[in-house]
Amino acid sequence: MNAFEYASPQTVQEAVELLGPGWQDSAVLAGGTDLLSLMKDGIVSPRRLVNIKRIRGLDRIELIGDVVRIGATVTLEQLLRDATIAARFPSLTQAAAGVTSPQIRNMGTVAGDLCQRPRCWYFRAGFGILATGPDGEPLVPAGDNRYHAIFPEGQAYYVHPSSLAPALIALEATVEIHGPQGTRELPVEELYRIPGSNNERELNLGPREIITAITIPANGVKNATYEVRQRQLLDWPLATASVALRLSGRKVVSARVVLGHVGPRPRRATGAEAVLNGAELNEQRIEAAARAAVQGARPLSRNGYKVQLAQVAVKRALASLA
Amino acid sequence: MLKADFLKTAWPEPGKRIWIGKEVNRIDGVAKASGRAKYTYDINRPNMLWGKFLICPHAHARIKRIDTSQAEAIPGVRKVEIVQGEGSEIVFHGDEIALVVADSEELAVDGVRAIKVEYEVLDHVVDETNLDQIPRGNRRPGGRRRTGNVDEAFASPEVVTIEGQYGIPMITHCCLESHGVVAEWTGDDELTVWISTQNVSGISGQLANALKIPAGNIRTICHFIGGGFGSKFGPDRWGILAAKIARELNRPVKIMLDRDHELLSAGTRPSGFARVKLGVDRKTKKVVAWESTLWGTGGPGGGGTSISVTPYIFTRIPNQRREAYNVRANVGPRRAWRAPNHPQGAALTMTALADAAAALGVDELQFFLNNVDLTDRPDVYTQELLIAADLIEWRKHWHPRGESGSGPLVEGLGISMHTWGGRPHNSQALVHIYPDGSVDVQLGSQDLGTGTRTVIAIVVAETLGLKPEQITVQIGDSRYPPSGASGGSTTVGGVSSSTRRAAVDALEQLFEKVAPSLGVEPTDLVARNGRILSKSKPDLSVSWKRACRTIGMEPITGQGRQPDPEDQPLASQGVGGVQMAHVVVDKDTGVVRIKRFVAVQDCGLIIDLKTAKSQVYGGVIMGIAYALYEECVHDPITGRRLNPNMEFYKLPGIGDVGEIIAHMMVGKVTVTAPDGRKITIDYDEPGVIGLGEPPVISPGAAISNAVANAIGVRVPRLPLTPDRVLAALAGKGGLA
């Protein structure tokens, strides 16, 4: 691991000032469950780490009027055990429970879950976020892509690893971001982007910006997450579906269906939403929505099975609300 | 000292055993659980240096240039040793190129990163699944065998023919403690090495050759080891380099492999693939013909494919034609992996037999029972099959293949059987009885986590009439009398025999000292419950402590060895085991879960029932790991290993293994065979037999058979991951 500076500011303002203009200048440190291994493996080598865990007030979950505000450094374990969350957003509790390592749940934070880097084994071996060979050719399509995207975008074949993002997007959550220009808000859905080169990042965040909180409207939607994982021991999901439904009796007033681990961004399944909107939530509709959710999938040579898994995840998430 | 030889070394009769065969806790359990047990990784010496390797990122390459100048310029980097220099051909991802030794682990890593290597990348072979696509030069014949007349057998109208293909991939040992060493010179030609090893008594001799100093000047220490499984018998490149550089720099040097390095370089289990054709007699349902083409890779050197273990156990099939090929591939080199060749043999044989049973519409249990006479120990297997069937509730849960209901969650049962030798290795032991009554026992052996320390304590305690916790067991140091390496399930037979003889020898000497003070003959004495008693005068006795006061100044030293041509054998070899799996498969997701796993095992006379069962649990868990999760994934383009980490080189957690039932065959067991015959076997009679390997052999086949029973089709190759299960259900199952 290269030598680096370590800063542990007390306020968000100080933290922002300590961050540099380029990705190589600095990195925000919270739980460190991903960042430290990236540094040890030489994938990133920031010159300075800015620890945000000592900043007061970032580690709370609060119900403020009709909004639940989750501080950036709330741990996954805190989220999992929180009654306010469990009562309103079981899909988030289920997603946090899917991180089956107590060590990671105790260290890993909510914002860290959103910002962690992809687990693509080419990226982690040093081939860059777009996994390119020596001549710039993409390695994933002809390589071993059993865990990769079935909805690739551009040159991006990795899947985003966030456990919480699909649920947060389904719940119409927003991230609160602090930077040199002040504060801004961004729907979680818009947090992710497709990098144009190996030098770009996969987040719509600048190097000097820090996520400080996530806010979720507590508007009574029924919601659920279903993850397909092979192991009970900590394991990345092979496909995830988070759903949020506004129901009137058995009738779906409006639906949000989000797939995880199928593409470089959590994927809104708008086709599935259209099938559900205005319809009665019954077995046939659920089947139709699950089919629609994976329409247009472009699986690679070894990951066709994930199309079925994504479909099953949607079906089971919806069925748990029916 | 005069050897008296009036006591028998034979193991006590069943009714007279105090500790042997009981469930005794590990004597080092608290030390391990509390962290007081020190592993090689925990050894840190004053002024110690750290070594880290630069490993090759290519599957096959030639080194054109190496520039170490920037690494050498880093303050704190003390030495950069080129392991394989310019012009060398590297044949697998992970092989060592250079070693950096520095003041700290972090500086050594910095040094490794600062080395510049220019490679000429060469063509690689990393995929051996399709025998016909392997380049000729990478394929070597591994033997042909013929018995009877296969063609005639298959041509008979009475014979039903079943064909299938099966595979079990290359995996690694993935020891919880990676390989490594700390080397410290204590004089010009005196070396101490702390090394994570299965071979405490054998390391010094191997190092001496490389270092050109007398083997007796090298002290090897390994008190605790975090797993070896066959991959830790030698000092290895890192051990020799650590010692050499420690001498050169006159500072202790520590090298522990990083996880990726360990997974890439420190040993693999060869893969096995087979195309199998079976002939079964329509009426008798007996297997009458076997034809197979077997292949696999053991790394760049090839090898590791054994023609002698497929068909596995059912070696008496009357008509056989077999051929084998060894594939040389640019993948990590093989090392012995717990029960070498046997898991492959089981995975390629028991699956084919189960497919034959399913094709004929015969209950798998009946089919195996019906064919046990094709094995070397039909009576043992018959007993074990029937006992395992009861424990897994075969009658209640079995159904014909695929007839498992309509929902997504389906259940199934599967069987596999195995054998192993487990002969005792050579061993010498010293038992000391001191005037203060304390007792210690010394062997240059090692406890791989199997319970060897506890077994040694039990044998001494049983012999001397004491408690296991009263015995100080000293192992893990080459200064003690030599014992064999712990491999091939040879330890328990070896150390229990030598220890028993040493303890009996010591006790005879004690009896000779004590007898005069009691006014009886030494032959009249017995040791029991912490006392020395007279057999002829029941109220005449003396406490152990008081008896030891008669020893005088010098302690008593009892000596024991294995083998001992002057004594009867206390250990032997040859066991059988049967395992059955009960699985639940989600047909929509392809996820397989273990509901219950039954392991019925014979291993001769059991010294400690508790650690014996633990061995079985461990073996079964390791087997579940390779049945469902483990495989080395290689990139078809670059040839690199893609999963040299514990994130994607998957192992199960405790929540993934289900309920495991370990049933040990002990004492006299009588079972009524299906034909009404009463079979009685005394499992203690052969003496002690090793147990490390057997329980890991069958899980792959048993679980694969259970999955086939559940979902109605065979998933041809392990591990049974969701993609492969779904492909098989979609009729697209293959060896990939």
Q: What pLDDT shows up at residue B736?
A: 86
Residue given tokens 């009574």 in the structure block:
A220
Comparing CA positions, the residue from B562, B601, B607, B594 lying closest to residue B706 is B594
DSSP state, residue A50: E
Which residues 646-685 of B have a C-beta within 8 angstroms of A? 647-648, 650-656
pLDDT in tens, A182-217: 999 999 999 999 999 999 999 999 999 999 999 999
Q: What pLDDT shows up at residue A246?
A: 97
- Alpha carbon A115 to its chain centroid, in Å, reads 7
Domain ranges for chain A: 57-217, 222-319
Q: What pLDDT shows up at residue B304?
A: 87
Cβ-proximal residues to B53 (8 Å cutoff; 6+ apart), any chain: B83, B96, B97, B98, B99, B100, B112, B238, B255, B257, B261
- The amino acid that residue B558 corresponds to is G
- Domain A57-217, CATH class in plain words: alpha beta
Cβ neighbourhood burial of B215 (10 Å; 0-12, 13-18, 19+):
middle
- Total residue length of chain B: 736
Q: Is A2 on the interface with B (CB under 8 A)?
A: yes
Cα distances (angstroms) measured from residue A170 to each of A112, A257, A314, B605: 19, 6, 12, 62
Task: Please give the radius of gyration of chain B, using alpha carbons only, rounded to the nearest integer.
Answer: 28
Comparing CA positions, the residue from A140, A156, A247 lying closest to residue A195 is A156
Record: fold of B14-34+424-562: Aldehyde Oxidoreductase; domain 4 (3.30.365)
Q: Do B638 and A309 touch (CB under 8 A)?
A: no
Cβ-proximal residues to B560 (8 Å cutoff; 6+ apart), any chain: B428, B429, B430, B431, B497, B498, B499, B500, B501, B502, B503, B504, B505
Cα distances (angstroms) measured from residue B175 to each of B65, B202, B239, B454, B650: 34, 20, 17, 22, 13
**What CATH number does the domain located at B339-422+572-729 have?**
3.30.365.10
Q: How many CA atoms lie within 13 A of B364 on its CB side?
A: 32
Domain ranges for chain B: 14-34+424-562, 41-122+179-256, 339-422+572-729
Q: Give the dihedral sign, CA A129/A130/A131/A134.
A: negative
Question: Which residues of chain B have a pLDDT value below 50?
Answer: 1-3
- Alpha carbon B347 to its chain centroid, in Å, reads 17
Which chain B residue is nearest to residue A2, measuring alpha carbons?
A: B110
Cβ-proximal residues to B556 (8 Å cutoff; 6+ apart), any chain: B432, B433, B506, B509, B510, B513
Residue given tokens 């002990």 in the structure block:
B666
Which chain A residue is nearest to residue B625, measuring alpha carbons?
A: A231
Give B726's contacts in chain A (Cβ within 8 Å). 305, 308
Comparing CA positions, the residue from A181, A191, A166, A142 lying closest to residue A19 is A181
DSSP state, residue B350: H
Tell me the average pLDDT of chain A. 97
CA distance B736 to chain A (A): 10
Q: Give the dihedral sign, CA B385/B388/B394/B398.
A: negative
Per DSSP bridges, beta strands A267-268 and A251-260 are antiparallel
Contact B120, B60 (CB under 8 A): no
Q: What pLDDT shows up at residue A3?
A: 85
Can you tell me the ipTM of this complex? 0.97
Specify the CATH superfamily of domain A222-319. Answer: CO dehydrogenase flavoprotein, C-terminal domain (3.30.390.50)
Cβ neighbourhood burial of B22 (10 Å; 0-12, 13-18, 19+):
middle
Q: Which CATH number fits domain B41-122+179-256: 3.30.365.10, 3.30.1490.20, 3.90.1580.10, 3.40.50.300?
A: 3.30.365.10
Q: Is A144 on the interface with B (CB under 8 A)?
A: yes
Residue A285 φ/ψ, nearest 5 degrees: -65, -40
Neighbouring CB atoms inside 10 A of B105's CB total 17
Q: What pLDDT shows up at residue A83?
A: 97
H/E stretch holding A266 reads none
H/E stretch holding B196 reads none
Give B106's contacts in chain A (Cβ within 8 Å). 1
Q: Which of B109, B636, B648 sits opposite A121 (nearest CB)?
A: B648
Tokens of B168: 């079990």
**Which parts of chain A are beta strand (E)?**
5-7, 26-29, 48-51, 61-64, 67-71, 174-179, 182-187, 210-217, 222-228, 239-248, 251-260, 267-268
